[in-house]
Amino acid sequence: MARQPPGAKHPEINLYADAVHPGRIGAYLSVDEAQSKAFIADIELERRASAIAVYDFVTGIIYLPASLIAGALWVLHPASAFIVAACFAFFAIAAFVIVRPDLHRVSGVFPG
């Protein structure tokens, strides 16, 4: 529930913060994690659980410094965190377009 200012007589209910927003986050995470893990399970046929565990471990290791850097940028100036994130997104899209993974498919890995 949303925090109330000191001395508030009647607690206000913030429907978005208390009910809607957590549901939206849960829906996003269920879609995002499900498709990532399904992709990994399709690639690694013999050791699926180990592959998913390694994926979760590596992403967790990467998220920690990324969060620390974003927090440090936020302390410097809140907009700087978003600017740096936008730059990373731009370079990721540019690298994806240059590399063109659809031209480098390995036989048997991607159906179709």
Does 26 fall in a domain? no
pTM for this predicted structure: 0.54
- What total of structural domains would you count in the chain? 1
pLDDT of residue 14: 60
State the first-to-last Cα distance of the chain, in angstroms, to the nearest integer: 48
In a domain, 83, yes or no: yes
Q: Does residue 70 lie in a domain region?
A: yes
Question: What whole-number distance in Å separates Cα of residue 56 and Cα of residue 41?
Answer: 13
71 located within any domain:
yes
- Six token digits for residue 14: 């913030």
Q: How confident is the model at residue 35, as a pLDDT? A: 82
pLDDT at residue 65, rounded to an integer: 92
The 3-state secondary structure of 45-106, one letter per residue: CCCHHHHHHHHHHHHHHHHHHHHHHHHHHHHHCHHHHHHHHHHHHHHHHHHHHHHCHHHCCC
Which domain covers residue 78, as residue numbers? Answer: 60-103
* Domain-embedded: residue 90: yes
Residue 33 pLDDT > 70: yes
Residue 32 lies in a domain: no
- pLDDT tens digits for 34-91? 888 888 888 888 888 888 899 889 989 999 999 999 999 999 999 999 999 999 999 9
